[in-house]
Amino acid sequence: MRGDWHVHTRFSLDSDAPVREMLDRAVALKMTDICFTDHYDMFFLDEGFTFDVDEYFRVMQEYREEYRDRIRVHIGVELGLDTEHTAEIGEFAKSWPFEYIIGSVHKLFEKDPYERADYDCTDEEFYRAYFLRCAECIRANDCFDVFGHLDYVVRYGYSKAEHYSYAAYKREIDEILKALIEKNIPLEVNTAGLAKGVGFAHPHPDVLKRYIELGGRQYNMGSDAHDAAHLGWGFEETEKALNKLVFLQSIR
């Protein structure tokens, strides 16, 4: 199996997964590469969502050495984007030798989209606002290698993907895709959607088709696993679907 480029461990505040457990599972799945991308969201709501980066590099480099004959270990990060702290976020990204930075949007109106009940609006307004926020964050930041889980917000709506389609959000999604293409930033294909019941990997296949239509060509794949059981989740079926999109090229 190919590599998994979106993996969380106990360094993320929302995961308890031991690094070794993730590595052993990746080796068992015969993966060529694994890239750890723990959450670093300096300005996430009031408290931040971060880890001790010194310890992270020390621990990950030790594992990389120990597992070097079995799998290539990459040290990355999933970096939270916003539009108010771009200088600080960019400075952080440059200060450490991350091999791979996923830029993700995890807050909307200073709240967490995961907590749907905190928003007093319809799902349609919720999704539309999130997409516009993503486009703004992509335009405002230059510190990331790939844009994470484009339509993950539909996991948290009351109606989930029931009324969601590319066509219904064409204007907002096109803003995202155009910003990525102009900045030459690849799109992440994030299989957590398959694990979390929306029935597709993020973004929806129709969004990928539109990305190609607009001239987008590059993607990379990750499971967003927060435990070993979800590592490489849905990779085979997603890979088959991606292979049919002949213009799309994996960056890894």
| Residue 82 interacts with Zn ion (CB under 5 A): yes or no | no
Question: Binding string, 198-237, against Zn ion, x = CB under 5 A?
Answer: --------------------------x-------------
From the list 98-106, 109-117, 118-126, 181-189, the region that binds Zn ion by CB under 5 A is 98-106
Least Å from the CB of residue 56 to Zn ion: 15
Least Å from the CB of residue 4 to Zn ion: 11
Cβ-contact 35, 76 below 8 angstroms: yes
Least Å from the CB of residue 51 to Zn ion: 13
Residue nearer to Zn ion on the CB measure, 4 or 224 = 224
CA–CA separation, 199 and 204 (whole Å): 9
User: In residues, how long is the chain?
Assistant: 252
- Identify the DSSP state of 58: H
Least Å from the CB of residue 37 to Zn ion: 6
CA–CA separation, 231 and 251 (whole Å): 19
Residue nearer to Zn ion on the CB measure, 21 or 245 = 21
CA–CA separation, 93 and 144 (whole Å): 8
| Residue 78 interacts with Zn ion (CB under 5 A): yes or no | yes
| Residue 145 interacts with Zn ion (CB under 5 A): yes or no | no
Q: Number of residues in contact with Zn ion, rule: CB under 5 A?
A: 3
Phi and psi at 218, nearest 5°, equal -110, 140
Least Å from the CB of residue 52 to Zn ion: 18
Burial class (CB in 10 A: 0-12, 13-18, 19+), 223: buried
9, 22, 50, 104: which one contacts Zn ion (CB under 5 A)? 104
Burial class (CB in 10 A: 0-12, 13-18, 19+), 157: buried
Least Å from the CB of residue 167 to Zn ion: 25
Which one, of 234, 208, 211, 240, lies nearest residue 222 by Cα?
234
> What does the radius of gyration of the chain's CA atoms come to, in whole angstroms?
17
From the list 66-74, 78-86, 89-97, 158-166, the region that binds Zn ion by CB under 5 A is 78-86
CA–CA separation, 80 and 48 (whole Å): 10
Cβ-contact 230, 25 below 8 angstroms: no
Cβ-contact 79, 41 below 8 angstroms: yes
Least Å from the CB of residue 59 to Zn ion: 19
Question: Binding string, 25-44, against Zn ion, x = CB under 5 A?
Answer: --------------------
Q: Which residue ranges make up the site for Zn ion (CB under 5 A)? A: 78, 104, 224
